[in-house]
Amino acid sequence: MAGGSGLLHGEFTSLTGSWVLDKSRSDVMEPYLQCLNVAELAIEAQAKCEADSESRNVINIDGTQFAIHKRTKINALTEHFELGKEREMPARSGTRKTMVTLRKPGDYSAIDVTTAMPISTGALHLLETRTLMDKGHTCLQELHLTNLATGAKCLTRRVWVRVPTTHEDRAALEEETPPLTCMPGPMTPGTVMT
């Protein structure tokens, strides 16, 4: 199992913590990126990067706030949201609107993230769900993507394994950072990050 989850014992009831992608139990991102009409070269680069390196997410849910840091070999992004409030952020082709909600009030074991995002060829709708499993030691992420311009739909499932939180993880959550992508082709901030 990825990330050495054996180091953590007990039961966890919150998504708060550090997570490493379990590639052996996760869908690849190619169909998701194809649904976005991402250039083939960018899709190949993303697949190679994911195969060769660790994908790590750090999540903090605190009262009415949600923060997430997503780090891969080619990208690092930290975002902060107020739970239940739509947030507008600039994107390459307009304004991205995102809202993070708890599936049940006061329950930090499952969230839904709804995003409406313009792209150069139209618009996208993304429903991302994250749900704790295995006594909180794993998290199932589902990405329900609809390309409103083409009608294409894609469901991508990713499994994340809880790992010990590092000092670097905690520091990464402190301030919001824009995405740093070196991938070629038309990309929208947050497109590849999972």
Confidence of residue 138 (pLDDT cuts 50, 70, 90): very high
pLDDT-wise least confident of 14-23, 61-70, 185-194:
185-194
Give me the pLDDT at residue 116, please: 96
Residue 182 has pLDDT above 70, yes or no: no
Q: State yes or no: pLDDT of 179 exceeds 80.
A: no
Q: Stretch 89-111: mean pLDDT, rounded?
A: 94
Do 52 and 32 meet the contact criterion of CB atoms below 8 Å apart?
Answer: no
Q: What is the token pair recorded at 11?
A: 């039961």
Q: Considering the domain delimited by 2-174, tell me its CATH architecture.
A: Beta Barrel (2.40)
Task: Give yes or no for residue 189 having a pLDDT over 50.
Answer: no
Euclidean distance between CA atoms 62 and 51, whole angstroms: 33
Q: 């809202």: which residue's tokens?
A: 99
Strands 94-104 and 122-133 turn out to be: unpaired
Kindly state the average pLDDT of the residues 110-127: 92
Please report the pLDDT score of residue 191 as a whole number: 44
Alpha-carbon distance 165 to 100, whole Å?
A: 22
pLDDT interval class at 177 (50, 70, 90) = confident
Cβ neighbours around 137 below 10 Å, total? 20
Share of the chain above pLDDT 90, in %: 68
Q: Could you tell me which residues come within 8 angstroms of residue 72 by beta carbon, excluding any fewer than 6 positions away?
A: 49, 50, 53, 54, 55, 56, 192, 193
Question: What is the H or E stretch that residue 30 is in?
Answer: helix 30-35
Detail the DSSP E strand segments found in 85-149.
87-91, 94-104, 107-119, 122-133, 138-147
How much is the pTM? Answer: 0.86
Average pLDDT over residues 7-25: 93
pLDDT tier at 194, thresholds 50, 70, 90? low
Q: CA Rg, the chain, in Å? A: 16
Do residues 96 and 116 touch, judged by C-beta distance below 8 A? Answer: yes
Binned at pLDDT 50, 70 and 90, residue 49 comes out as: confident
Average pLDDT over residues 107-111: 98
